[in-house]
Amino acid sequence: MNGERNDDLVLTRVEADSGIATITLNRPKLLNAVDGPTAWAFLDAVRAVTARDDVRCIVLTGAGRAFVAGGDISAFGADPGSSAGVVHDILDALHPALLALRAGPAPVIAAVRGVAAGAGLSLALAADLVVAEEGARFVVAYDRIGTSPDCGATWFLPRKVGRARAMELMLLSQTLDAEAACAAGIVSTVVAPEDFEATVAEIAAKVARGPTRAFGAYRSLVDAACDRPLAAHLEAERASFVAMTATDDFREGVAAFLAKRAPEFKGR
């Protein structure tokens, strides 16, 4: 762990007034590469944030000059024979963390500086929006150590860019800059370095002011759309819409529309 305390590996901040939670992977000297302790600290942070009713937007980011440079390969080098155990330990934490982020209603924004590689790319792909600083780089990278992707990369990437492009990115180990990643559908917004933090804050604030439970329904419906027949999906949309009519935000939205004023959603 290079002298790091476990509670320093991932930092969490929740702004009570806005409902914005920020989870920061904090191994900047190692470009926030993920080892076992970091993965478990990340799971703890995600569970703490997603358990709160007042969180309405989650921002994932990395400390220093990188988002996440993938897994910490040094964890495999000490004893290659124990690599399977290392993988299980990391993924036993990252899998439930990813599922918790996707299951909760709060939209997730990945704020990407520098490199997002391997598991770091997977974390970015798992987000609903990706804001990338000019100069950010995105690469699958698993071929470089002779293994296959994890953390949902092969689930998210084809849904974002299509099967053919996903296979090209994996087989040819192509690195995309921020603009190319935006054109491919991985990145939502590319921002100049001097505007990066302000833009992330502005987007997070806009999302946090929205109808949070409805936003969670957006994600669930979109995730399921590729795997359901149209007739079944139409009924899923119907069920979701009906469920939303029982929320305070729906009642506020209708009242605001009829009164010709801006709605003030509370995320309930």
Q: What is the 3-state secondary structure (H, E, C) of 41-82?
A: HHHHHHHHHHCCCCCCEEEEEECCCCCECCECCHHHHCCHHH
How many Å apart are CA 235 and CA 203, to the nearest integer?
Answer: 32
233: annotated active-site residue: no
Residue type, 81: G
Q: How far apart are CA 225 and CA 262, in angstroms?
A: 31
CA distances in angstroms from 190 to 116, 132, 136, 159, 195, listed in the order given: 14, 5, 9, 20, 10
Please answer whether residues 12 and 21 qualify as being in contact, where contact means their C-beta atoms are separated by less than 8 angstroms: yes
Active site residue 89: no
The residue annotated as part of the active site, out of 35, 72, 128, 150, is 150
The single residue of 44, 54, 89, 95 carrying the catalytic annotation is 95
Could you give the residue numbers annotated as active site? Answer: 95, 150
